[in-house]
Structure 1
Amino acid sequence: MTKQFWNLIKVSPVIVAATFFAANSALAAEVNEQVTNVAQLSEAQDNNMSQVTSVSQFSDVQPTDWAFQALQSLVERYGCIAGYPNATYRGNRALTRYEFAAGLNACLDRVNELIATATADLVSKQDLATLQRLQEEFSAELATLRGRVDAVEARTAELEANQFSTTTKLVGEAIFAVSDVFGENRAVPAGEPTEDLNSNTTFSDRVRLNLYSSFTGKDQLQIRLNAANIVPNNGVSGTNMTRLGFDGDNGNSVVIDKVNYAFNLTDAVRVKVDATGAELYENVNNFNPDFASSGRGALSRYGRFSPIYRQGQGGAGLTVTFNPTGAISLSGAYLARTANNPTLNNGLVEGDNAIFGQLSFQPTKAFNIGLTYARTYQGNTVANNLFQSTGSTFANNPFGNNTATESNNYGVEATFQLSSALAISGWGGYTTADARNGANAGADADIWYWAGALALRDFGGKGNVLGVIFGQPPKVTGGSIKNVAANVELDDSTSYHLEGLYKFKVSDNIQVTPGLLVIFNPEHNDANDTEYVGTLRTTFSF
Structure 2
Amino acid sequence: MPYQLADRVKGLLVVLTSLFLVSENVLAQTVEKSNSIPPVINVSDLRDVSPGDWAYEALTNLVERYGCIVGYPDQTFRGDRSLSRYEFAAGLNACLEQIERLVEASAAITREDLETLNRLSREFEPELAALGARVDNLEGRVSFLEDHQFSTTTKLQGELITTLSQVFGNENAATGEDLDVQAAINYRLRLNFLTSFNGRDRLRVRLESSNFSFGRGGTNYTDYNFSANSDNQVRVRKAEYIFPVGQKTTITVSAINMLLDDIADPIAPFAGPTADGAISYFGAIAPIYLNSSGGGLAVTHYFTDAISIVGYYSAGNANNPTEGNGLFNGQYVAAVQLSYIPTANTGVGIVYNRSYFPGGDDIAILGFSGSALAENPFEGSATSSDNVAIVGSWLISEFFGIEGWGMYTKARGESGDRNGDTADIWNWKLSFAFPDLFREGNLGLLSVGSPPKAYSVTGGPEDSDVPFLVELLYVFRVNDNISITPGVFVVTNPEDGRDPLWVGTIRTSFDF
Looking at structure 1, the residues matched to 76 and 442 of structure 2 have their Cα atoms a distance apart, in angstroms, of 42
- For structure 1, the 5+ residue unaligned runs are 1-7, 28-43, 76-80
**Match in the other structure for 1:521:** 493
User: CA, structure 1 residues 273+66, in 2 after alignment: closer, same or farther (shift >3 Å)?
Assistant: same
Q: Verify: 1:345 aligned to 2:324, yes or no.
A: yes
Q: Verify: 1:297 aligned to 2:277, yes or no.
A: yes
**Match in the other structure for 1:66:** 57
Match for residue 506 of structure 2 among 536, 539, 542:
536
What is the 5 A alignment of 1:103-502?
103-106=91-94, 108=96, 129-188=115-174, 194-232=176-214, 234=215, 236-313=216-293, 315-361=294-340, 368-401=347-380, 403-482=381-460, 487=461, 490-502=462-474
User: CA, structure 1 residues 467+143, in 2 after alignment: closer, same or farther (shift >3 Å)?
Assistant: same
Q: CA deviation at 1:520?
A: 1.0
User: CA, structure 1 residues 350+24, in 2 after alignment: closer, same or farther (shift >3 Å)?
Assistant: farther
SS in 1 for 2:122: helix
User: CA, structure 1 residues 443+137, in 2 after alignment: closer, same or farther (shift >3 Å)?
Assistant: same
Q: CA deviation at 1:258?
A: 0.6
8 A Cα contact 2:29 2:88, kept in partner: no
What is the 5 A alignment of 1:32-43?
none
Q: Which stretch of the first structure deviates more once superposed, 266-275 or 125-134?
A: 125-134
Q: CA deviation at 1:363?
A: 7.5
Looking at structure 1, the residues matched to 363 and 418 of structure 2 have their Cα atoms a distance apart, in angstroms, of 14
**Match in the other structure for 1:9:** 17
Looking at structure 2, the residues matched to 105 and 69 of structure 1 have their Cα atoms a distance apart, in angstroms, of 19
8 A Cα contact 1:339 1:346, kept in partner: yes
Match for residue 26 of structure 1 among 26, 31, 44:
31
- The AA in structure 2 aligned to 1:533 is V
Structure 1 residues 386-430: Cα deviation after superposition (integer angstroms, max 9, x where no partner): 1121111111111223x2211111222222222121111222222
- For structure 2, the 5+ residue unaligned runs are 1-15
SS in 2 for 1:174: strand
Looking at structure 1, the residues matched to 100 and 393 of structure 2 have their Cα atoms a distance apart, in angstroms, of 64
User: CA, structure 1 residues 101+386, in 2 after alignment: closer, same or farther (shift >3 Å)?
Assistant: same
Q: Verify: 1:101 aligned to 2:109, yes or no.
A: no
8 A Cα contact 2:443 2:474, kept in partner: yes
8 A Cα contact 2:62 2:69, kept in partner: no
User: CA, structure 1 residues 475+149, in 2 after alignment: closer, same or farther (shift >3 Å)?
Assistant: same
SS in 1 for 2:240: strand
8 A Cα contact 2:241 2:252, kept in partner: yes
Looking at structure 2, the residues matched to 294 and 103 of structure 1 have their Cα atoms a distance apart, in angstroms, of 45
**Match in the other structure for 2:5:** none
**Match in the other structure for 1:78:** none
- TM-score of the superposed pair, with normalisation by structure 1: 0.80
Q: Which of the two has higher C-alpha Rg? A: 1
Structure 1 residues 293-347: Cα deviation after superposition (integer angstroms, max 9, x where no partner): 242111111111111111222x112222333134533222111111111111111
Q: CA deviation at 1:207?
A: 0.8
Q: CA deviation at 1:187?
A: 1.1
8 A Cα contact 1:171 1:210, kept in partner: yes
Q: CA deviation at 1:353?
A: 0.7
- The AA in structure 2 aligned to 1:295 is A
Aligned length: 487
User: CA, structure 1 residues 370+109, in 2 after alignment: closer, same or farther (shift >3 Å)?
Assistant: closer
Looking at structure 2, the residues matched to 412 and 499 of structure 1 have their Cα atoms a distance apart, in angstroms, of 21
Looking at structure 2, the residues matched to 254 and 153 of structure 1 have their Cα atoms a distance apart, in angstroms, of 39
- The AA in structure 1 aligned to 2:92 is L
Structure 1 residues 430-451: Cα deviation after superposition (integer angstroms, max 9, x where no partner): 2111121123222222212122
Q: CA deviation at 1:167?
A: 2.4
Q: Which stretch of the first structure deviates more once superposed, 462-471 or 366-375?
A: 366-375
Structure 1 residues 364-396: Cα deviation after superposition (integer angstroms, max 9, x where no partner): 887533222111111234521111211111111
8 A Cα contact 1:311 1:374, kept in partner: no
Looking at structure 1, the residues matched to 134 and 342 of structure 2 have their Cα atoms a distance apart, in angstroms, of 50
Q: CA deviation at 1:73?
A: 3.5
Looking at structure 2, the residues matched to 408 and 127 of structure 1 have their Cα atoms a distance apart, in angstroms, of 77
Q: CA deviation at 1:112?
A: 6.8
SS in 2 for 1:308: helix
Q: CA deviation at 1:515?
A: 0.9
8 A Cα contact 1:454 1:469, kept in partner: yes
Looking at structure 2, the residues matched to 265 and 214 of structure 1 have their Cα atoms a distance apart, in angstroms, of 15
Looking at structure 2, the residues matched to 449 and 56 of structure 1 have their Cα atoms a distance apart, in angstroms, of 60
Q: CA deviation at 1:206?
A: 1.0
User: CA, structure 1 residues 201+132, in 2 after alignment: closer, same or farther (shift >3 Å)?
Assistant: same
Q: CA deviation at 1:514?
A: 0.9
8 A Cα contact 2:263 2:310, kept in partner: no
Q: CA deviation at 1:181?
A: 1.0
Looking at structure 2, the residues matched to 330 and 269 of structure 1 have their Cα atoms a distance apart, in angstroms, of 10
- TM-score of the superposed pair, with normalisation by structure 2: 0.85
Structure 1 residues 19-51: Cα deviation after superposition (integer angstroms, max 9, x where no partner): 9xx667236xxxxxxxxxxxxxxxx8859998x
Looking at structure 2, the residues matched to 541 and 355 of structure 1 have their Cα atoms a distance apart, in angstroms, of 32
- The AA in structure 1 aligned to 2:365 is L
- The AA in structure 2 aligned to 1:225 is L
